[in-house]
Structure 1
Amino acid sequence: MPTPKERLLSSQNLRMTRIPSQTFSSRRFEEIGWWKWKSAKTSPSSKHNYLLRSPLYRPVKEVYRDFGGRVMRSAVINNSPFFGIVVNPDGSATPDSGIDFNVLNTLRNKLNFTYQLVITEDGQWGGEQPNGSFTGMIGKVQRRQAHFAINEITITALYSGTLTAVLTVPSFEKPIDSLTDLLDAVIKDGFKPIVVRGTSNEFIFRDATSGIYKQLWDVFDPKDRYVYSWDEGIDKVIAGKYVFANAYLGAVIRAKRRGLHKYHFAKNTFYPQSYGMACAHGAPYKTLFDTLLIRLTSAGLVQKWTKDEVNKVKSADSDSSSDPGAITLIQLQAAFFILFIGYFLAAIVLVVEGIVGVCSKSKTSA
């Protein structure tokens, strides 16, 4: 074991020796600062102890404020409007559009990294299996095949029906606006709840041990409870008495393409809306990602990108002449402005008449 003096000489030699990064084909070393050994006595009877005057490494937060162009692998699934991708002939994926696409590009520009997309073979978001492994995007992260996965999840109940039929035919089918309503509709009216297999929508019911989630899973039809894509679930709702539990935004956009008047959306969501990124265990940049995602959400950017995606979709209802649509306050605001202007002008005339009347009386009395 080297003595303190030998360690001091070694550190001095390291300090005197500088390796120019130009000698390497790519940057592998980066100068981050200097350090010195500091001599100190911990007690009068002890010998000199040599301590570092300052930390040898930069804090993790400072290191990952700039990724230096590092290539990050992001696990994705083709799930518009969250992350739309185009699969190339060679099997690679190119990002196309979506809310997550905008979020990821913002993080890339802020932290100075590039990314490659890793497609999940099963097309699933990901959930835990009995052996402890995970499927889908989460499985890619768990197996270190991707650095992170990003997705937004909000679940609501969706079933087919028209508002007119619900209002005019009470005995037909009442609106399903909560999980309790869904349970009653399954037991009394023969509705079948369905979910996309291998998503968190499935696991929240399947893994429940008590409460309404467990009660609902017990009445799922084992032979007819899964669909394998979001579009399949939306289409199945129209084909029969099915209730599709799905992310709210994705369901609205897909229903908009087919005609919103064909669907009823529950008033109550049963899975809190959240935005997050699944990172590999122990990832030092996780806290930084969390902070930036909170800022993006608080600044209203995620809501703005969400609105942009909804506005991109052409509604099938726009081609239908059967329902002109309800008149909104925005459409009536011009009438209110004209009414307000009329009141304002009338008030001015009244004031002027009063002033003229007062002046006339003054002249008469004079």
Structure 2
Amino acid sequence: MKTLVDMRLASLLENNKLFQIKKYYVNGSAYFSGLAFDILNELSKRLNFSYVISEPPDGQWGIQTKSGRWNGMVGMVKRKEVDFGVASFTITSHREEAIDFITPIWEGSHSLVFKTGDTNSHILAYLRPFKSTLWYCIASLGPLVVGLHYLFRVIEESKGKNPKLLCLLINSKRLLTLIDSVTFTIASFLSQSYRVKLLGPGIGLFTAGFWLTVLILSAIYKGNLTAFLTVQKVASPINSLMDLEEATDYDIGLVKGQALVQVLQSSDTELYQNLWKRIMKDPGKNIVDNLTVGFQRVAEGRFVLLEDTKNVHAIVAESSSCQYHIGTTSFMPTGYAFALQDGSPMINIFNKEYIYLIYYPIMKYF
């Protein structure tokens, strides 16, 4: 009987304490170790079969390509190049259309991980207390105030005179008045003192109203900025996929060939579709070759990696730094199991023997 194990991909799970698979050589011969092979060896003893190992040429777990063809280990099982696959295959409804699975070896979920402090260290973090719409309004308010202040000054200074208003506005002697209006507006926005000539009740009311508006905006901004900088240090802005959907300034990453790629790509759920569109804006950078590359991207900042929860926790726990944050809300609960050919007569036999192994000492790994 032939078996299949993706050692190249399994080596990426070296921080996964449960399903770590290693390949080593003794006198030129290749050997494999890990919980998956402990289970496999027990099954081979109880069912009296031997096996040889084949590794997928593309080093992938297996997803369905645009042409409809399955690649990786799933493709090898489906095409009956091997009898079954030995690894922690993620069980999905899409894969179950192509292959079968034995009873799940363990159950888990997926989580998101990103670099802590990203939001506070961003160069434009000081703009975040207000939404972009309000900043546009404030930016538009500046020229409007300059124009109105200049107009009020001209009208007040020209009382008793009856030249046309246009002549008053373009008079070269009014240049100092215009500069004074610009200086008044900038100083007010910066909460700096500025002496204003109150030539009449009109400009007095206008100045008082504008200063009151600036005072309110300034107080709200300072309060929001203080709260923003404080809260971000103790709470993550991204704890779920819904949070991630709103955090549009983050890139989203997946590990190439994993089941989650297929799930997001083929899902009818609007949330998954939106996340997949963002990933496909730059698939060359967002779909990484392995977990090592994925965490390197996370460490660079502004990058959220979606990955198996146990893998994420294991890598973060062994990291020498405290720069990673794991989302508190997991998603896509699933089982992990060995893969067999669709309709394989061995599935009932393997299930029966595996249930026995649940009570066998080998399961101390759990």
TM-score interval (norm. to shorter):
0.5 to 0.7
Does structure 1 retain, via aligned residues, the 8 Å contact 2:110–2:331? Answer: yes
Question: Structure 1 residue 233: deviation in Å?
Answer: 0.6
Does structure 2 retain, via aligned residues, the 8 Å contact 1:85–1:96? Answer: yes
Q: Tell me if 1:265 matches 2:326.
A: yes
Q: Tell me if 1:142 matches 2:78.
A: yes
Structure 1 residue runs of 5 or longer lacking an equivalent are: 1-70, 307-366
Does structure 1 retain, via aligned residues, the 8 Å contact 2:114–2:301? Answer: no
Question: Structure 1 residue 263: deviation in Å?
Answer: 1.3
Q: Which amino acid aligns with 1:215?
A: N
Match for residue 345 of structure 2 among 284, 291, 302:
284
Q: Tell me if 1:161 matches 2:116.
A: yes
- 2:37 is matched with 101
| Paired residues for 1:1-366 under 5 Å | 71-78=1-8, 79=10, 80=13, 81=16, 82-86=19-23, 93-97=30-34, 99-152=35-88, 153=90, 154-161=109-116, 169-171=230-232, 174-185=236-247, 187=248, 190-223=249-282, 224-259=285-320, 261-294=322-355, 296=357, 299=359, 304-306=364-366
With over 3 angstroms needed to count, the CA separation of the structure-2 counterparts of 1:260 and 1:284, relative to structure 1, is farther
Aligned CA-pair RMSD? 3.2
What's the TM-score once normalised by structure 2's chain length?
A: 0.55
Does structure 2 retain, via aligned residues, the 8 Å contact 1:162–1:264? Answer: no
Question: Structure 1 residue 236: deviation in Å?
Answer: 1.3
How many residue pairs match? The answer is 230
Does structure 2 retain, via aligned residues, the 8 Å contact 1:148–1:279? Answer: yes
Question: Structure 1 residue 142: deviation in Å?
Answer: 1.5
Q: Distance in 2 between matches of 1:215 and 1:174?
A: 21
| Post-superposition CA distance 1:96-154 (Å, at most 9, x none) | 32x32232223223322222221112211101123332111101111222111133344
Does structure 1 retain, via aligned residues, the 8 Å contact 2:7–2:23? Answer: no
Q: Distance in 1 between matches of 2:363 and 2:327?
A: 21
Does structure 2 retain, via aligned residues, the 8 Å contact 1:76–1:83? Answer: no
Q: Distance in 1 between matches of 2:230 and 2:361?
A: 42
Q: Which amino acid aligns with 2:258?
A: T
What's the TM-score once normalised by structure 1's chain length?
A: 0.55
- Between Structure 1 and Structure 2, the one with more helix by share is 2
Q: Give SS of 1:195's match.
A: strand
Question: Structure 1 residue 74: deviation in Å?
Answer: 2.1
Q: Which amino acid aligns with 2:241?
A: L
Q: Which amino acid aligns with 1:184?
A: E
- Greater relative contact order structure (CA < 8 Å, 6+ sep): 2
| Post-superposition CA distance 1:266-311 (Å, at most 9, x none) | 22221223122211123111122234445556x59787425xxxxx
Does structure 1 retain, via aligned residues, the 8 Å contact 2:117–2:232? Answer: no
Does structure 2 retain, via aligned residues, the 8 Å contact 1:205–1:213? Answer: yes
Q: Distance in 1 between matches of 2:33 and 2:228?
A: 41
Q: Distance in 1 between matches of 2:311 and 2:37?
A: 15
With over 3 angstroms needed to count, the CA separation of the structure-2 counterparts of 1:222 and 1:87, relative to structure 1, is farther
